[in-house]
């Protein structure tokens, strides 16, 4: 395992001041490299649309392009099993939970009739893909979300500043970000800032080589998960150590 740190990149602490908290569907926080890659991807799509061109849409059948992020990278196990030097979100000043809201949905029979001329007399609300739902929504209530990384502070801040909400159910007001701050820590240990949460637990998905000779380290166990964005794509999945649950 080798950490490649280009010139101008230093250990960073990125802090998002939250309006109330965030919603995410996995037991760990939102990845910083995923946020940066998503913003770069959206910028590329906007440029293509403005130029009247086309862009390759996301697909499980297409191996995704590795975007250039303003982060250092860790070689991991070598080959394609590398990852960016950035952690997942860590809640700061968290209000002890659990905090659970619920959302509900039911089919709009009139709207379905306007979209199709071959509907059955009644679309069942009790079974099938259009059935009514009441689903739990676990929340993380905290004052700040904190990430650690090794990267270019100015470039990271430039990409994050336009992001006003993160996580799931953003349209319902969850995950609203009040402000972003990026703080440099040039004297800090780069490996630690690339892999660990502030509490010392594993802060991101990592192959076994990253944790060699680290000693007793709290993790979320082992499993199949992505090493870099897009994390859910089969091409970037590997057997990894998982972050500590939040």
Query: Are 14 and 228 contacting, i.e. CB atoms less than 8 angstroms apart?
Result: no
Question: Which tens digits make up the pLDDT trace of 146-155?
Answer: 999 999 999 9
Domain boundaries of the chain, sorted by first residue: 3-101+139-241
How many Cα atoms sit within 13 Å of 85 on the Cβ side? 28
Question: Which tens digits make up the pLDDT trace of 206-222?
Answer: 998 888 778 788 999 99
Q: Which long-range contacts (CB under 8 A, 24 or more apart) does 4-9 make?
A: 4/72, 4/73, 4/74, 4/75, 5/72, 5/85, 5/150, 5/190, 6/72, 8/152, 9/70, 9/71, 9/72, 9/150, 9/151, 9/152
**At 132, is the secondary structure helix, strand, or coil?**
coil
Omega cis (within 30) before 230: yes
Query: Are 206 and 83 contacting, i.e. CB atoms less than 8 angstroms apart?
Result: yes
Q: Report the pLDDT value the prediction gives residue 239, as an integer from 0 to 100.
A: 93
Q: Report the pLDDT value the prediction gives residue 18, as an integer from 0 to 100.
A: 96
pTM of the model: 0.89
Report whether pLDDT(1) > 80: no
Q: Report the pLDDT value the prediction gives residue 167, as an integer from 0 to 100.
A: 93
59 pLDDT band (50/70/90 cuts)?
confident
- What is the Cα–Cα distance from 211 to 130, expressed in whole angstroms? 46
Query: What DSSP string runs through 175-187?
Result: TBEEEEEEEE-TT
Question: Which tens digits make up the pLDDT trace of 97-132?
Answer: 889 989 888 888 778 778 777 777 777 788 887 888
């Amino acid at each position: 395992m080798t950490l490649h740190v280009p010139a101008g990149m230093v250990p960073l602490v990125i802090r998002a001041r939250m309006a109330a908290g965030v919603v995410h569907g996995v037991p760990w926080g939102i990845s910083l490299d995923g946020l940066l890659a998503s913003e770069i991807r959206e910028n590329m799509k906007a440029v293509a649309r403005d130029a009247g061109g086309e862009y390759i849409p996301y697909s499980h059948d297409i191996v995704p392009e590795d975007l250039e992020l303003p982060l250092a990278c860790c070689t991991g196990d070598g080959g394609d099993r590398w990852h960016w030097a950035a952690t997942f979100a860590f809640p700061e000043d968290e209000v002890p939970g659990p905090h659970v809201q619920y959302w509900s949905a039911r089919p709009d029979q009139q709207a379905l009739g306007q979209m199709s001329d071959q509907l059955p007399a009644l679309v069942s609300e009790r079974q099938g893909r259009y059935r009514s739902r009441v689903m739990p929504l676990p929340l993380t209530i905290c004052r700040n979300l904190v990430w650690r990384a090794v990267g270019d502070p100015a470039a990271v801040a430039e990409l994050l500043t336009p992001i006003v909400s993160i996580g799931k159910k953003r349209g319902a007001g969850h995950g609203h970000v009040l402000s972003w701050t990026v703080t440099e820590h040039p004297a800090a240990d780069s490996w630690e800032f690339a892999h660990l949460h502030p509490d010392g637990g594993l802060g991101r998905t990592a192959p076994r080589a990253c944790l060699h000779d680290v000693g007793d380290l709290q993790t979320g166990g082992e499993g199949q998960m992505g090493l870099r964005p897009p994390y859910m794509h089969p091409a970037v999945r590997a057997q990894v150590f998982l972050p500590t649950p939040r």
